[in-house]
Structure 1
Amino acid sequence: LIKVKGFQVAPAELEGLLREHPEVSDAAVTALPCSRSGEVPIAFVIPKPAAAESLKEVALQQYVAEKVAPYKQISKIVFVESIPKSATGKILRRQLKEIAQKEYC
């Protein structure tokens, strides 16, 4: 779980919303440390091939914001070609968190 200003946010909920978007192929959400909020959600998104050039971070943030409480809103969306997963298909969240901290903190 991601703890945002004392609220708990389930990454799976945000991932589900992102995957419902017609231009998103896959998504993974993890926590990014934040001095004001404790942690904030950061999403790694694989756009569908036809939408790779047209899909924008702001549009996806608005799409999610319309469907969730303000504290659940995604602070950053990173477009990637792949999401680290185990042999069984589980998202390797520890690797995502390391990438987020290294690149975006």
Structure 2
Amino acid sequence: MSNIHASCSTIDKDGWLHTGDIVYFDHQGYLFIVDRLKDVIKYKGFQIAPADLEDVLVSHPDIDDAVVIGRMDEEAGEIPIAFVVKKPKAKISQYDVIDFVAKQVAPYKKVQRVEFINAIPKSAAGKILRRELKCTFSSRL
């Protein structure tokens, strides 16, 4: 795609800039960027922002870090899968994590599966490498 075509698809005819980010404005007018549209999980027609579930997960006292990705599902489209790094000496199970999240989110946002890992893969800039998780664990999911 040439630079001219890329610019045309980024700025629409009404002057709106389409970055691929999911954002919201708070009541004071501040803009918050919360996720990337391409990372959104589409579950049975609902859109789930992984960052929303990640915020819930890391609020658990036994979870050190977490990332959520979508896994293809024939019936639902995609289902949310959580990769969780436990805090040292934590003794939580997949079911504890699923239950913890389910109590705090809408039914369609529930985490369907949990994989415990040692560390979340991140770039040098600290960006979560979701594709790396999908590739590494695709045979197990």
Normalised by the size of structure 1, how large is the TM-score?
0.93
Q: Residue in 2 aligned with 1:71?
A: 108
Q: Residue in 1 aligned with 2:134?
A: 97
Which amino acid in 1 is paired with 2:42? K
Q: Residue in 2 aligned with 1:4?
A: 43
Q: Residue in 2 aligned with 1:28?
A: 67
Mapping for residues 79-90 of structure 1, pairs under 5 Å? 79-90=116-127
Distance 1:92 1:6 in 2: 25
8 Å CA contact 1:33–1:101 kept in 2: the answer is no
Distance 1:22 1:66 in 2: 15
Q: Deviations over 1:61-87 (max 9, x none)?
A: 011001111110001100000111000
- Counterpart of 2:68 in 1: which secondary structure? strand
8 Å CA contact 1:32–1:100 kept in 2: the answer is no
Which amino acid in 1 is paired with 2:140? E
Distance 1:101 1:5 in 2: 21
Q: Which has the higher helix share?
A: 1
How many residues get paired? 102
Mapping for residues 43-62 of structure 1, pairs under 5 Å? 43-51=82-90, 54-62=91-99
For structure 2, the residue ranges without an aligned partner over 5 or more in a row are: 1-39
- How far the C-alpha of 1:6 sits from its partner, in A, is 0.6
- Counterpart of 1:13 in 2: which secondary structure? helix
Distance 2:129 2:85 in 1: 15
Give the 4+ runs in structure 1 shifted more than 3 A. Answer: none
Distance 2:70 2:109 in 1: 11
CA-based RMSD: 0.8
Normalised by the size of structure 2, how large is the TM-score?
0.70
